[in-house]
Amino acid sequence: MDKANVDPRVEALRAEVVERALSGGDIRSHLERLYDTVLRWGPRLIVELGIRGGVSSFALERGARLVGARMVCVDINDCSGVLGYADFVQSDDVDFAAVFGDWCQDHDITPSVDLLMIDTSHTYDHTMREMVAWLPWMSEACIIIFHDTNASQLGYDVAGYLREWLEIPFPEGLDFTAESRGWHVEHHPECYGLTLIRRYRNGESN
């Protein structure tokens, strides 16, 4: 890349993301990937489910600022103190999906989610309920990101849900890509696993 064409804001915020990753966290190896995903796809609306200490929010927020996206963060606990750019909603994430349209109308937001980040309970049943609740709000060419998809040793079963829902082998400990059911799948096993699924645009073959 021609360094003369690099936006200094992009690199300044990237440096913040890299520095934040150095401070630790169970998603630290994926922060720059989250940031780059926002920059690459330019979502208009980002929704993050499960905030805790705001580590992933840090990277997503910085990307959102650059592309001008609205960002809504949802957690059952009060995590507002760890956020800067994003709107915060304290709620069960499945319950919030049921009123999401009304909430968006009240906040002058088009209720069409381009990027959804899920990092909540990590159980099979809850992941299934989240997908049922949030898929109707997803845009035509959306991305859904799941953390802890290489964590069955901890009793988590996000990978188990994705394996069955996408109808694909899901070797948690390996980097892999796949195509299934209209989704492109990209899995990275480090830091308990991060899986990105992107819905095909109209006319896109893979």
Return mean pLDDT, the chain: 95
Tokens for 141?
């060419």
Q: How far, CA to CA in Å, does 201 sit from each of 120, 179, 183, 204?
A: 28, 13, 10, 5
pLDDT at 1 (0 to 100)? 46
CB 122 within 8 A of CB 157: yes
pLDDT of 24-55, one tens digit each?
999 999 999 999 999 999 999 999 999 999 99
This prediction has a pTM of: 0.95
Nearest Cα residue to 141 out of 199, 83, 69: 199
Confidence of residue 3 (pLDDT cuts 50, 70, 90): low
According to CATH, the topology of domain 3-199 is Rossmann fold (3.40.50)
Position 75 pLDDT exceeds 90: yes
Residue 61 DSSP class:
H
**What's phi and psi for 203, nearest 5 deg?**
85, -5
Task: Provide the residue ranges of all domains of the chain, joining segments of one domain with +.
Answer: 3-199
Using CA atoms of 170, 172, 175, 178 in order, give the dihedral in degrees to the nearest 10. 10
